[in-house]
């Protein structure tokens, strides 16, 4: 599936071969023709076209606000937006515009980006399939009978289908990277504390990270400066540096993580090994001990923090939540404080284990252990494991959230049935730019190899 990139749209606008109004009208037409994907939950054509017209006027007068002025970008429905309701795709919240923007949305708006509607998501970002939403499930553009993964599934579908070239997502256990992998696009999770979460409805405040999904790796480089950097409205970014697009990477040192707890299907493993063989990198292989313990720690932290955040709204409007989300939140209340403290101790142990792996530029895993599952399939089998589809979607991705590492998913091929396979790269804390450079090295070499 070939989609136009953000970089191509930027170039066309700069050269004057297209207008912002043309891009907006084309995106609206494509959104209408692909309504079966259920990628969008709020779309106001008149408002979108008004933004595009204003961008065209600025360019005509030589006053473009940035390279991105006039480019349409979609927003996940857990980012506050002044002109659209923000509901996290839950009936627990009112369908009313917030009247304010999340910091990242405000950054993009000030750059002249056309805010192109709100995308579907797994309710409250509390799931990785995008099957639970007050607006119904999102469908995979490569095969409507398969899921997009979540929770940023609407954003993934919108980009993969070529409605927009980029969209915003959020990531607590893979929610940017999972739909990127399932839909065959690029998704980036910044280091914890590198990107502002102000105005992004939380799931788990010590695991959450906002991130972009895009049609190309170069597109991510255009977007990350609007994510990264200090924001006085988010204290975790106090020491965050702006994103530096000038940093590149040479021939990378990669560690292919395998072993117990890191199983994957035969076809996915073959795709990863083939890509590593072809990408001209220094590759070695190792495992990680106690994966089950680390996963349990991530789950405990996630459930405790989610239940704590939702307690007031759950008490006020429990019936506004879906039954499955409500069950998660009620279960989180049952975890004792000592269990949360133990989980945090285990979390520190993961950081220690990663630190003694030696010299590496990126840790390599498949984004998903299987290709995008069929809608309705509750179980997945791979590598001698039988796990729920929910757990299969987060099988590898949660590691980067628990450790706070930057992480990216890049497409590396297609399965025989025409579904994408993604490779996930994890970098060192706050080395987001270097990780993007490593991904660029691999992406370029794989494309040249074709």
Active site residue ranges: 76, 151, 175
CA distance 262 to 272: 13
Q: Would you list the DSSP string of 274-308?
A: HHHHHTT-EEEEE--S-HHHHHHHHHHHHHHHHHH
Q: How are beta strands 139-140 and 72-76 bridged, if at all?
A: unpaired
> What length is written for the chain?
450
**Residues 6 or more apart whose Cβ sits within 8 Å of residue 213:** 152, 155, 156, 159, 166, 167, 168, 169, 176, 179, 180, 185, 186, 187
Q: How far is CA 276 from CA 2, 245, 433, 445, in A?
A: 24, 25, 21, 10
Coil, helix or strand for 223?
Answer: helix
CA distance 251 to 253: 7
Question: What ranges in 287-369 are assigned the alpha helix state H?
Answer: 291-316, 323-332, 337-355
Largest distance between two CA atoms of the chain: 63
**Residues 6 or more apart whose Cβ sits within 8 Å of residue 232:** none
For the chain, what percentages of helix, strand and coil (3-state, to nearest 5) are there?
40, 20, 40
Nearest of 133, 205, 127 to residue 394 by alpha carbon? 127
CA dihedral 274, 277, 282, 288 (to 10 degrees): 30
Question: What ranges in 75-226 are assigned the alpha helix state H?
Answer: 103-110, 153-160, 177-183, 217-223
Decide: residue 376, CB within 10 A, 0-12 exposed, 13-18 middle, 19+ buried.
exposed
């Amino acid at each position: 599936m070939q989609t136009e990139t953000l970089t191509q749209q930027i170039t066309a606008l700069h050269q004057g071969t297209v207008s912002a109004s043309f891009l907006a009208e084309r995106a609206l037409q494509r959104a209408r023709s692909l309504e079966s994907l259920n990628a969008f939950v709020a779309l106001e054509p008149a408002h979108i076209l008004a933004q595009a017209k204003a961008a065209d006027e600025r360019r005509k007068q030589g006053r473009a606000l940035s390279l991105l002025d006039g480019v349409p970008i979609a927003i996940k429905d857990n980012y506050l937006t002044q002109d659209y309701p923000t509901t996290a795709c839950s009936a627990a919240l009112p369908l009313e515009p917030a009247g304010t923007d999340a910091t990242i949305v405000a950054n993009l708006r000030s750059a002249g980006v056309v805010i192109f509607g709100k995308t579907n998501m797994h309710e409250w970002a509390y799931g990785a399939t995008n099957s639970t939403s007050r607006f119904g499930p999102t469908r995979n553009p490569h095969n409507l009978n398969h899921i997009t993964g979540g929770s940023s599934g609407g954003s993934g579908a919108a980009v993969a289908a070529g409605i927009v070239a980029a969209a915003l997502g959020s990531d607590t256990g893979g929610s940017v990277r999972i739909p990127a992998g399932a839909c065959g696009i690029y998704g980036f999770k910044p280091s914890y504390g590198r990107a502002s979460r102000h105005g992004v409805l939380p799931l788990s405040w010590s695991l959450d990270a906002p991130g972009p999904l895009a049609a190309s790796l170069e597109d991510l480089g255009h977007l990350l400066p609007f994510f990264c950097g200090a924001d006085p409205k988010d204290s975790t970014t106090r020491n965050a540096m702006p994103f530096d697009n000038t940093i590149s990477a040479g021939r990378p040192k990669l560690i292919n993580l395998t072993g117990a707890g890191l199983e994957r299907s035969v076809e996915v493993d073959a795709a990863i090994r083939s890509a590593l063989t072809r990408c001209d990198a220094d590759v070695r292989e190792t495992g990680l001990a106690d994966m089950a313990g680390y996963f349990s720690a991530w789950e405990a932290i996630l459930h405790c923090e989610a239940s704590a955040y939702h307690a007031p709204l759950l008490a006020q409007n429990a019936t506004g939540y879906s039954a499955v989300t409500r069950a998660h939140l009620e279960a989180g209340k049952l975890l004792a404080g000592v269990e949360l403290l133990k989980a945090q101790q285990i979390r520190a142990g993961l950081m220690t284990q990663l630190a003694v792996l030696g010299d590496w530029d990126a840790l390599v895993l498949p984004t998903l252990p299987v290709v995008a599952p069929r809608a309705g399939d509750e179980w997945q089998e791979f590598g001698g494991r039988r796990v729920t589809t929910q757990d299969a979607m987060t099988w590898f991705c949660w590691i980067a959230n628990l450790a706070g590492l930057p992480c990216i998913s890049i497409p590396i091929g297609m399965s025989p049935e025409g579904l994408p396979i993604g490779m996930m790269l994890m970098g060192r804390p706050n080395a987001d730019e270097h990780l993007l450079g490593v991904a660029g090295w691999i992406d370029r070499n794989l494309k040249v190899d074709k």
